Amino acid sequence: MTFKAAAVQMCSGVDPAKNAASMMHLVREAAAQGAIYVQTPEMTGMLQRDRVAAKVVLRDETDDIIVRTASALAAELGIYLHVGSTAIALDDGKIANRGFLFGPEGKILNRYDKIHMFDVDLDNGESWRESAAYRPGSEARVLSLPFAEMGFTICYDVRFPALFRAQAIAGAEVMTVPAAFTRQTGEAHWEILLRARAIENGVFVIAAAQGGLHEDGRETYGHSMIIDPWGKVLASTGGTGEAVIVADIDRTAVKAARDKIPNLKNGREFSIEKITGAVVGGVAT
């Protein structure tokens, strides 16, 4: 009922080959510490704000260097390797922000395309329009693995609790949140969002993050974390830069948390009515 999981923190640049080499080094380090499941961050293969330059090096998944490298690495180490996401060229000219889970034989066991697009304007002047280049996914999955029932999300998905709740109700015991959170939003919300998703669903949360000042000028928050179903932080990098964190995932903790607070079972359907402030029957509403 227990397995060792790792989250790999990176500071990916604009060259996919260099990022693949960094991924190999860090994943090997995680495996050497006994992890059988290893997760890398969102956009493991490249962080590049210049979309014209990015499209020059993007490939479909059959020719993507991160996909090829991860497949071989999973087989070499005999682990489950979760590439949190990487940019994949699509036939319609759009890009998929796509995560992959590779099994110990190097085969792709699951794909997940990020559902919620990061279209925001921040106080510090940062403006992001992910939907301008990326095609959102539309399917969530819970994957049955020998060691856990696993659900998949990416970064901005963490702000949409219904996605986590649906996967928890479908049986997920571990939720994955690879990310490239901005420094500003990370400082404000990263830990509290991850812990909230763990607590309200009684699940482990594994969140490998990008962390540091990147070649394209953006700054990401880092602080990769592994959190238990009671909201306790089991491991954290505590900052930015390349790092590996490892924690033991005890599946009995999921049942224990859900037995104490059975909110997944106690949820009820309800209607909602918007009240406009009109007077009904002489009583202000």
CATH code, domain carrying 43:
3.60.110.10
Neighbours of 46 (CB within 10 A): 25
- For residue 16, which of 87, 73, 83 has the smallest C-alpha distance? 87
In this prediction, residues 160-183 reach a mean pLDDT of 97
**Residue 124: predicted pLDDT:** 65
Domain-embedded: residue 195: yes
- For residue 205, which of 217, 216, 214, 193 has the smallest C-alpha distance? 193
- Catalytic residue flag (residue 242): no
Report the share of the chain in percent with pLDDT over 70.
94
Domain-embedded: residue 274: no
Domain-embedded: residue 285: no
Domain-embedded: residue 85: yes
The DSSP code sequence of 81-124 is EEEEEEEEE-TTS-EEEEEEEE-TTS-EEEEEE--S--EEE-TT
- Catalytic residue flag (residue 107): no
Band (pLDDT 50/70/90 cuts) for residue 178 is very high
Query: Alpha-carbon distance 34 to 275, whole Å?
Result: 56
Q: What is the pLDDT of residues 136-156, one digit of tens each?
A: 999 999 999 999 999 999 999
In this prediction, residues 178-186 reach a mean pLDDT of 95
Indicate which residue of 114, 173, 260, 269 is catalytic: 114
Q: Tell me how many helices (H) and strands (E) the chain has.
A: 8, 18
> Residue 47 phi/psi, 5° resolution?
-115, 110
> Residue 45 phi/psi, 5° resolution?
-75, -25
Band (pLDDT 50/70/90 cuts) for residue 118 is confident
The DSSP code sequence of 128-186 is EEGGGTBPPP----EEEETTEEEEE--GGGGG-HHHHHHHHHTT-SEEE--B--BHHHI
Q: What is the pLDDT of residues 2-60, one digit of tens each?
A: 999 999 999 999 999 999 999 999 999 999 999 999 999 999 999 998 888 988 999 99
Of 40-44, 70-74, 159-163, 278-282, where does mean pLDDT reach its minimum?
278-282
Helix orientation angle between 191-201 and 161-169, rounded to the nearest 10 degrees: 30
Domain-embedded: residue 265: no
In this prediction, residues 154-181 reach a mean pLDDT of 98
8 A C-beta contact, residue 77 and residue 27: yes
Sign of the C-alpha dihedral computed for residues 44, 48, 49 and 53 taken in this order: negative
Sign of the C-alpha dihedral computed for residues 162, 168, 171 and 176 taken in this order: positive
Query: Alpha-carbon distance 217 to 223, whole Å?
Result: 19
Indicate which residue of 11, 126, 139, 155 is catalytic: 155
Domain-embedded: residue 266: no
Q: Could you give the 3-state DSSP secondary structure of residue 1?
A: coil
Sign of the C-alpha dihedral computed for residues 18, 51, 211 and 200 taken in this order: negative
- For residue 23, which of 84, 78, 75, 90 has the smallest C-alpha distance? 84
Domain enclosing residue 93, as ranges: 1-258
- Catalytic residue flag (residue 42): yes
Band (pLDDT 50/70/90 cuts) for residue 128 is low
Indicate which residue of 11, 42, 149, 173 is catalytic: 42
**Residue 99: predicted pLDDT:** 98
> Is a pLDDT exceeding 90 seen at residue 277?
no
- Split into its structural domains, the chain has a count of 1
Query: Alpha-carbon distance 155 to 137, whole Å?
Result: 13
Domain-embedded: residue 9: yes
**Residue 52: predicted pLDDT:** 85
Domain-embedded: residue 263: no
> Residue 259 phi/psi, 5° resolution?
-70, -35
Distances, alpha carbon 170 to alpha carbons 115, 193, 203, in Å: 18, 21, 12
CA angle 158, 65, 59 (to 5 degrees): 80
**Residue 263: predicted pLDDT:** 95
